[in-house]
Amino acid sequence: MGIRQEQEDPLLVSGAEQNEQQQEERREEENGGSVVRRTWFESKKMWAIAGPSILSRLAMYSLTVVTQSFSGHLSDLDLAAISICTTVIIAITFGFMLGMASALETLCGQAFGAKQFNMLGIYLQRSWIVLFLFSVLLLPMFVFASPILKLLGQSNALAEQSGVVAIWLIPMHLSFPFQFTLQRFLQSQLKTAVIAWISVGALAVHVFVSWFFVYKLRVGIVGAALTLDFSWWLSVFGLYGYAVCGGCPHSWTGFSAQAFAGLWEFSKLSVASGVMLALENFYYRVLIIVSGYLHKTEVSVDALSICMTIFGWESMIPLGFLAATGVRVANELGAGNAKGAKFATEVSVLTSLVVGLLFWSITIAFHEKLAMIFTSSTSVTALVNKLAVLLAFTILLNCIQPVLSGVAVGSGWQAVVAFVNLGSYYLVGVPLGVFFGWFLAFGITGIWCGMIGGTVVQTLILTIITVRCEWEKEAQKAHIHTTEEQLPTTNLSSTNP
């Protein structure tokens, strides 16, 4: 009975059909298929993942943008407080939790490519245990946000207001372990459309709730923070409900004690992934901290927060390509197709570069209008306009790097990339920024230019690592790992009612 269900399961049929299609395309390639035809096939596969992933990431990131927009029309202090909490404190935990969840992307992607669907639910439960424990360890950042910000040079008024907001954003922080892992669990099975629909639904609810609480009930900055908490958890329950209530009948077979096995190995990969993305995600947020040492602190924080918000908003697109590259590379390596993994990387890099050039052009063309989305302050608008060119080149340079990080996620190289990020960003970029900003007296512009230099170094190193990758060996390692982790088939059938 269990065997018959396994053969007739739609997920398995879909996986078999996908594998047959991949084999057919590989035969065409071996028989002289053109590069254009191969690129077309790979682009369709990539956009099937990247499109919904970009939409869902934009929607979830827009929750914060909406809250900042409402807060910006309360007062400059309120905007600065919510901005520093979301672009610095939340950015650190967001980046670390998102990076830790990418370990699930590696493991689930390779298991799905190897058709070992029974392991996906086990990996998901392991990730919940590990990520939630680390999210609790990060809580002191919120509890002691006010003294930390004072220590870093922020004004007393801004630090105190930010501390209040940070406390009320703890529920949002605690949603990350579940939201990020559920996304990757579904994404690795190519169930990206449901992620996009739930994220867009959460955004629509958030706009209404923010308008009602902030404008109608006038609950102020605390109410604005609570709307973020509510909307993030709404997304979590939507994804969880889909996953466990029939959306994944073969990969989710209920809670299992197997989730507690191999936690140490899973933790090591998760921490390496978290450090990799946290170092990268926090890098440009250093600018917000540095702005606290400048004159007109609130104006500087507001302007830089707006630039970082726009940068973060646009970054959801290359991060969508990161997700697509990670899934495609992991799936191909899990299926033993080294050439397919390499070609997926090439197509993703080219596509992301084209998109980066498009948004570079938009930022240059509309630099005078950018700040008006968030504030009516003329001083803040003028400073954002002055920084727009640097913002445009930061966007352009950061269109390739996420794709290369996606290759690392799909291949399981997170620890290597963590060291690359540490060296490039904090041993090259930050010292350059200090040199240009303070010693050469170029101020915030010089600091930003130096940090762009760190991004250039990091991108070059990741490019060299990717070009020199031995894809056949990576495919063999993925096969060995998925074979070792495979659960007996009897476990799967016994959990089915």
pLDDT of residue 72: 65
pLDDT of residue 175: 94
pLDDT of residue 14: 46
Tokens of 302: 């507001």
**Residue in the structure block whose two tokens are 């909406």:** 66
Residues 407 and 466 sit within 8 Å (Cβ to Cβ) = yes
Tokens of 193: 């459309």
pLDDT of residue 41: 83
**Residue in the structure block whose two tokens are 């990350």:** 176
pLDDT of residue 493: 33
Burial class of residue 383, CB neighbours in 10 A (0-12, 13-18, 19+): buried
Burial class of residue 180, CB neighbours in 10 A (0-12, 13-18, 19+): buried
Residues 436 and 460 sit within 8 Å (Cβ to Cβ) = no
Burial class of residue 247, CB neighbours in 10 A (0-12, 13-18, 19+): middle
User: From the centroid of its chain, how far is CA 360?
Assistant: 21
pLDDT in tens, the chain (497 residues): 333 333 444 444 444 445 445 545 554 554 346 788 888 888 888 888 888 888 888 888 888 888 877 776 677 777 778 878 887 788 888 888 888 887 787 788 777 877 777 788 888 998 899 999 999 999 999 999 999 888 877 778 888 888 899 999 999 999 999 999 999 899 888 888 899 999 999 999 999 998 888 777 777 788 888 999 999 999 999 999 999 888 888 888 878 777 787 788 778 877 877 777 777 767 766 766 665 565 555 676 677 777 877 887 788 788 788 778 878 887 788 777 878 888 888 888 888 888 889 888 888 887 777 777 776 677 778 878 888 888 888 888 888 877 887 777 767 677 787 788 888 888 888 888 878 877 887 777 787 888 888 888 988 988 888 888 777 887 777 767 666 655 443 333 333 33
Q: What is the pTM of this model?
A: 0.73
Distance CA 235, CA 232 (A): 5
Tokens of 485: 């982790």
pLDDT of residue 488: 44
HEC sequence for the chain: CHHHHHHHCHHHHHHHHHHHHHHHHHHHHHCCCCHHHHHHHHHHHHHHHHHHHHHHHHHHHHHHHHHHHHHHCCCHHHHHHHHHHHHHHHHHHHHHHHHHHHHHHHHHHHHHHCCCCHHHHHHHHHHHHHHHHHHHHCCHHHHCHHHHHHHCCCCHHHHHHHHHHHHHCHHHHHHHHHHHHHHHHHHCCCCHHHHHHHHHHHHHHHHHHHHHHHHHCCCHHHHHHHHHHHHHHHHHHHHHHHHHHHHCCCCCCCCCHHHHCCHHHHHHHHHHHHHHHHHHHHHCCHHHHHHCCCCCHHHHHHHHHHHHHHHHHHHHHHHHHHHHHHHHHHHHHHCCCHHHHHHHHHHHHHHHHHHHHHHHHHHHHCCCCHHHHCCCCHHHHHHHHHHHHHHHHHHHHCCCHHHHHHHHHHHCCHHHHHHHHHHHHHHHHHHHHHHHHHHCCCHHHHHHHHHHHHHHHHHHHHHHHHHCCCHHHHHHHHHHHHHHHCCCHHHHHHHCC
Q: Please name the residues in contact with 334: beta carbons below 8 A apart, sequence gap of 6 or more.
A: 109, 110, 111, 112, 113, 114, 478, 479, 482
pLDDT of residue 27: 44
Distance CA 378, CA 236 (A): 38
CB count within 10 Å of CB 472 equals: 13
Q: What is the domain partition of the chain in residue ranges?
A: 39-490
